[in-house]
Amino acid sequence: MSNKWIEVLGKLAPTAATLLGGPFAGLAVGTVVSALGISDNDVAKHASPIEAVQEILTTQQLTGEQILALKKAEIDVKQHLADNNIKLADISAADRNSARQREMALKDDTPKILAYLLTFGFFGTLTFLMLGDIPKDSKDVLLIMVGSLGAAWTGMIAYYYGSSIGSKMKTHLLGG
């Protein structure tokens, strides 16, 4: 199934869409199911409530009431998170921290090896693009690959150095 449904949900209820991939997915799905007016019978026809949401968001034109309900659901989700002092950034940081703790406890070299391969692949591909004679048919594929490698490399840097390393460096330079 296409990702059109997640794009639609991301525009109308971005916090709820973000929560779908984490520990608060149940809250997000329940809120969206309710906002879209999906009945228990409609949910029962699918393997999961999220499939019912996917079907509506990909096969039907949303009504004005559904759009307003999704926007209200977004506000309600944000309010629920605020009321319970839940910060999505803290959840992401805890997730990264647990991965780092696992790596230290197991002394697993796999993340390091992948980081080296990713760095070599990213900068190797960039070098090839700048210096190589690229066939016209392959250029688009290489550009897509560079974009994917760049995003993965950025994530790897955030994993090893934290996402605020640039902020720390700026603070150090301004103070020094």
Digit-by-digit pLDDT tens for the chain (176 residues) are 457 787 888 888 888 887 777 777 788 888 888 888 888 888 888 888 888 888 888 888 888 899 999 999 889 888 888 888 777 666 666 666 777 777 778 888 888 899 999 999 999 989 988 898 888 888 888 888 888 898 899 888 877 776 654 455 545 555 55
pTM assigned to the model: 0.49
Yes or no: say if 71 and 15 are a contact pair by the CB < 8 Å rule: no
Name residues whose C-beta falls within 8 Å of residue 151's C-beta, 6 or more positions apart in sequence: none
